[in-house]
Amino acid sequence: MTTRFTMTRAAGLRRTSLLAATAALAATALAACGSDSDGTATDGSSDSGSGASQIAVKLVSGTDGDECQLSDTTAKAGPVTFEVTNESATGITEFEVLSGEKIIGEKESLAPGLPSATLTLTLGGGDYTIYCPGATEEKIDFTVTGEASASPTGTAAQLLQQGATDYASYVTTQLDGMVTGVKSLQSAIDAGDLTAAQKAYAEARPFYEKIESDVDGFVMDGFDPTDNHGNLDYLIDMRASNEDPAVGWSGFHAVERDLFQAKEITDQTKQYAADLTTNVEKLAELSTSLTYKPEDLANGAAGLLEEVQANKISGEEEAFSHIDLVDFAGNVEGAQQAFEALRAGLTEIDATLVDTITARFEAVNTLLETYKDPSALGGYKLYTAEVKKTDASKLSQTVQALQDSLSRLAEKVATA
């Protein structure tokens, strides 16, 4: 029997719209790239014979750390296929293609030894960035030669709505990644492998944090909005501070408590992990119905920064594992992707504010860079009591400046 779900607005939840269809995020299609008769494109990349430039990406463990190696850093405008193989890089699990700061394509959960993953994008001429978090050189310049994609056109309102439509694909991608992540977590727990389970926990967490403000209002069909037995946000992401005694512990943090505080895997831990997988899969089923209005993105971006201030900098979110900075980075990425989706329309409305927000995102990301540690769970230093004591104020002030700017977006886009 197929389970049905409804989107019900529970008290205090920020999710504001559930409509009928999702639009795929895609760059403007251009002519297929040409190739020489031997199958090598004239820019140096290989050609599959079907018109797509082929870029092989290998993730390997080098003498100075993990490396992200590209067969070529140029391709012709048109379809470009990246074949990503993690041969031995335990510190790299993600591959992204960026246009500016906007993620236009990504692959997650790239553990060593798994089959190669392919990502095909239609790219217009211009400068892009390949981003492999955890690599010794995380960002690599990538150039596409030939005709550039057409600039978006339309009124500010039309550009904003197009950005909001495209953003739905980002949410779907994160939900798909979260399903894969929690399944890996469950497998490690079922195998009784504590170390592997702790690592899998840290790798699965960011997916929810990136889109928390978009998906935290879903209540399963047949449940009252105030009943946490049917509230997927509670079942997936409850914490000690909002525990409902009638429901009890559930989700990520129930698993976290067993793995990092008790440091043991019990039958109850296995049940927590199984329930988490089930509930995340239920949430992912809704992804094909998610669409947004521009003000949803603006409010969501500000909401994610509120999450940073309330739960990450305080150390409440990851009270047992102390990977709060991993979640912090996830919230910031999600907020930035919402902003980037609105950028074209916002530039028409208030270019000065766009420049201010861009600079403040850069300041937050630059600060986050100082906490990166490829050897740590999730790639960031643990947010210990000592780090909180010395750095909480600095982190909070930097985030607050960005949050203040983002808080002005919703009214601007709603009245465009």
Mean pLDDT, residues 196-205:
97
What percent of the chain shows pLDDT beyond 90? Answer: 75
Give the end of a domain, one of 145, 175, 204.
145
- Does 239 map to a domain? yes
Angle formed at CA 342 by CA 15 and CA 298, multiple of 5 degrees:
35
pLDDT of residue 19: 33
CATH number of the domain where residue 255 is located: 1.20.1420.20
- Does 405 map to a domain? yes
Domain identity same for 141 and 162:
no
Asked whether residue 2 carries a pLDDT value surpassing 60, the answer given is: no
d(CA 143, CA 138) in angstroms, rounded, equals 16
pLDDT of residue 388: 96
Domain identity same for 347 and 255:
yes
pLDDT of residue 24: 35
- Does 4 map to a domain? no
Domain identity same for 106 and 162:
no
Q: Which domain holds residue 293?
A: 154-414
Domain identity same for 107 and 164:
no
Domain identity same for 252 and 323:
yes
Domain identity same for 219 and 199:
yes
- Does 257 map to a domain? yes
- Does 207 map to a domain? yes
Domain identity same for 99 and 216:
no
Domain identity same for 55 and 123:
yes
Q: 180-189, 215-224, 363-372: which has the minimum mean pLDDT?
A: 215-224
3-state secondary structure of 252: helix
Mean pLDDT, residues 40-52:
59
Give the end of a domain, one of 145, 176, 198.
145
Q: What is the mean pLDDT of the chain?
A: 87
Asked whether residue 3 carries a pLDDT value surpassing 50, the answer given is: no
pLDDT, one tens digit per residue, over 64-120 is: 899 999 999 999 999 999 999 999 999 898 999 999 999 999 998 898 988 999 999
- Does 31 map to a domain? no
Count of structural domains within the chain: 2
pLDDT, one tens digit per residue, over 251-290 is: 999 999 999 999 999 999 999 999 999 999 999 987 667 7
Domain identity same for 235 and 349:
yes
Q: What is the CA radius of gyration of the chain?
A: 21
Asked whether residue 13 carries a pLDDT value surpassing 80, the answer given is: no
Domain identity same for 126 and 213:
no
pLDDT of residue 17: 36
Give the end of a domain, one of 113, 128, 145.
145
pLDDT of residue 156: 93
